[in-house]
């Protein structure tokens, strides 16, 4: 079975641009969470979606938005990119909310210049 997949693998953008990152969860999983991991730090929670509804939001500005589609895949959008948005963006899927194990994708490395 395929694990969590993310695209693209790497991305280079310029300050002020917009970016869309994509995530496909493990088949059967209905929850997708997004995390930002700055180099040398642990991941920081951005969003959780379950059954296509936002169920949790971390301390990130409104420039960050996400959505989940009927097939449970998800997109993370970041507008007006800043240099500080450069990070590894991780997507994790789980069967449901709460105590379920989360399975992480390989991440998308975003570099903002």
Partner 1 sequence: KNQVEQSPQSLIILEGKNCTLQCNYTVSPFSNLRWYKQDTGRGPVSLTIMTFSENTKSNGRYTATLDADTKQSSLHITASQLSDSASYICVVSVGAGGTSYGKLTFGQGTILTVHP
Does residue 5 interact with partner 1 by CB under 8 A? no
Measured CA to CA in angstroms, residue 11 lies from 21, 110, 112 at distances of 9, 5, 8
Among 25, 26, 32, 33, binds partner 1 (CB under 8 A): 33
Give kind and range of the element (H or E) at residue 73.
Answer: none
Does residue 110 interact with partner 1 by CB under 8 A? no
4 CB contacts (<8 Å, ≥6 apart)?
A: 23, 24, 25, 26, 91, 92, 93, 103, 104, 105, 106
Does residue 45 interact with partner 1 by CB under 8 A? yes
Among 25, 29, 48, 112, binds partner 1 (CB under 8 A): 48
Among 30, 44, 64, 65, binds partner 1 (CB under 8 A): 44
Closest by CA to 85, choosing from 66, 111, 107, is: 111
Does residue 86 interact with partner 1 by CB under 8 A? no
Q: What CA–CA distance (Å, rounded) separates 49 from 55?
A: 5
Does residue 95 interact with partner 1 by CB under 8 A? no
Does residue 60 interact with partner 1 by CB under 8 A? no
Binding residues (CB under 8 A) for partner 1: these are 4, 33, 35, 40-45, 48, 55-56, 88, 90, 92, 97-107, 109
């Amino acid at each position: 079975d395929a694990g969590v997949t993310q695209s693209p693998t790497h991305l280079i953008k310029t300050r002020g641009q917009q970016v869309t990152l994509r995530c496909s969860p493990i088949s059967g999983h209905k929850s997708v969470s997004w995390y930002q991991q700055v180099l040398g730090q642990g991941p920081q929670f951005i969003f959780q979606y379950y059954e296509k509804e936002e169920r949790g939001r971390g301390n990130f500005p409104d420039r960050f938005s996400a959505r989940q589609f009927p097939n449970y895949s998800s997109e993370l959008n970041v507008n007006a990119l800043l240099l500080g948005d450069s990070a590894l963006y991780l997507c994790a899927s789980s069967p449901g909310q709460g105590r379920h194990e989360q399975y992480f994708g390989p991440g998308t490395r975003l570099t903002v210049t």
